[in-house]
Chain A
């Protein structure tokens, strides 16, 4: 088997996902081929990298901005739908009657339908009206949800900014406090050191004078003995 045949099969070979005959041929080839041996090591290295990989946390970003904008492009259709549905409701609720005769167009409210005039409500099929009202309710619900989401997103952003500002302020205050404490500690340390030096000098001086006195007494005593 040549490298060009063996190479593309190496990944399957490492995964033990290969025909046994081919696997044997590959084994024989790689015993003598340094390049393919290196490729196998590279495959194993990539497998190890994948196993060791720990996913990073996704940074903060606006997940639904384009979703809200894209859907709000339907605005004018929503209004058209709303207007049509409102007209349908008015026609039914107020039993509006529109008829046209030789004297002109007449609009009446609350008139029952008669054999001569056609009311507007009979022109509208009841089921179609129900369907349109349902659709209207559904669209309104979605619009309301989207508005609430927008409000929630804005509130979250505002809270995040507030928290960031508070943390920044707190850190700067903390930094200032630490700096003041460090200065105080340093000055206290210097003062203690100065005091310690003085005490050591005093002790040294007193010991020197005692030693001198002792030496004088010894010499005097020695000369008297002689």
Chain B
């Protein structure tokens, strides 16, 4: 298991120009970042693009990391901001299409598990597509990153009440969409 000291050592090596140290840092955090990006954007291609943008931002800002607090938390903060920007850019491009990912997931899982995951991904994508970028990131940080509202507020540079209000607005939108669906 990676210790804090080992991570500090890698960060310092990366700051001195070591590409292998940087690669180790990325490998350690990419799974979490990629899946966050995938849940935010709803498709794998956008998730890759966002992940690469985010790690580029992390790399450029690495000299600003003060070794206070969790490095992973610092990365997630950068990814959150990049994610919101990314979604806003995508939304303003009318030619951008949402996903492609109506494919069963390959891997070690059984066909049943793969089908369940596919269903879960589809439901989450449908839920997130109703929401603005600010609302999506609150949903992601609250439920999938298991953060408290205090942590969410710190990550997004907003107040705790704003974070709670955004979640409530998201819930209202989801409720409205469900009622409309039932009415139809």
Contact = CB atoms under 8 A, between A and B. Distances in A.
Do the two shown chains form a genuine complex with each other?
Answer: yes
Contact of B167 (A8, A59, A63, A150): A8
Interface of A: 7-12, 17, 35, 38-39, 42-43, 46-47, 49-50, 52-59, 61, 63-64, 66-68, 70-71, 74, 138, 142, 145-146, 149-150
Contacts of B167: 8, 11
Given A42-B175, A56-B38, A8 B168 contact: yes
Interface residues of B, number: 51
Interface in B77-117: 105, 107, 109, 113, 116-117
B19 A68 contact: yes
Nearest to A35: B175
8 closest Cβ pairs, A-B complex: A8-B164, A7-B168, A67-B22, A71-B17, A50-B143, A64-B23, A63-B26, A39-B171
B124 interface: yes
B50 to A, nearest CB: 12
Given A145-B18, A146-B18, A58 B31 contact: yes
Given A50-B143, A54-B117, A61-B52, A149 B19 contact: yes
Contacts, number: 107
B175 A46 contact: no
Given A11-B149, A63-B30, 7 more contacts: A39-B168, A39-B172, A53-B35, A54-B117, A74-B17, A142-B16, A149-B23
A66 B107 CA distance: 30
Nearest to A69: B19
Contacts of B31: 55, 57-58
Contacts of B107: 57
Given A8-B168, A49-B143, A50-B143, A39 B23 contact: no
Interface in B141-163: 142-144, 146, 148-149, 161
B61 interface: no
Nearest to A138: B16
23 contacts: A7-B172, A8-B164, A9-B164, A12-B149, A17-B148, A39-B168, A42-B174, A49-B143, A53-B120, A54-B113, A54-B117, A58-B31, A59-B48, A66-B59, A67-B19, A68-B19, A70-B59, A142-B16, A142-B17, A145-B19, A145-B20, A146-B18, A146-B20
Q: Among the interface residues B18, B44, B171, B178, which one has the most CB atoms of the partner chain A within 10 A? A: B171
Contacts of B105: 56
A114 to B, nearest CB: 43
B116 A10 contact: no
Nearest to B123: A49
B164 A11 contact: yes
Q: Among the interface residues B17, B23, B143, B161, which one has the most CB atoms of the partner chain A within 10 A? A: B17
A11 B44 CA distance: 29
Given A8-B165, A56-B35, A70-B59, A63 B23 contact: yes
